[in-house]
Amino acid sequence: MELAEAVRSRRMVRSFSDEPVPGQVVDELLALSLRAPSAGNTRGTSWVVLEGADEVATYWAHTTTEDWRARSRRWPGMRRAPVIALSLASPAAYLARYAEVDKAGAGLGRDRSAWPVPYWFGDAAFSVMTLLLSAASAGLGACFLGNFRGEEALRTALGVPGEWRLFGAVLLGRPDGRDRRSPSLDRPSPGIAERVHRGRW
Of 98 and 167, nearer to ligand FMN (C-beta) is 167
CB of 75 to ligand FMN, least distance (A): 10
> Which of residues 6 and 12 has its CB atom nearest to ligand FMN in the complex?
12
What's the min distance (Å) between Cβ of 8 and ligand FMN? 10
Strand partners, 12: 142
From the CA atom positions of the chain, what is the Rg in Å?
Answer: 18
Give min distance, CB of 37 to ligand FMN, in A.
17
Q: Please identify, using beta-carbon distances, which residue of 3 and 185 lies nearer to ligand FMN.
A: 185
CB of 29 to ligand FMN, least distance (A): 17
Distance CA 121, CA 123 (A): 5
Residues that bind ligand FMN (CB under 6 A): 11-12, 14, 144-146, 182, 184-185
User: Which of 154, 159, 164, 166 minimizes the C-alpha distance to 58?
Assistant: 154
| Residue number with CB closer to ligand FMN (41 or 184) | 184
Question: Least distance (Å) from ligand FMN to the CB of residue 12?
Answer: 4
CB of 199 to ligand FMN, least distance (A): 28
Cβ proximity to ligand FMN, 96 vs 147, nearer residue: 147
| Choice between 50 and 108, CB closer to ligand FMN | 50
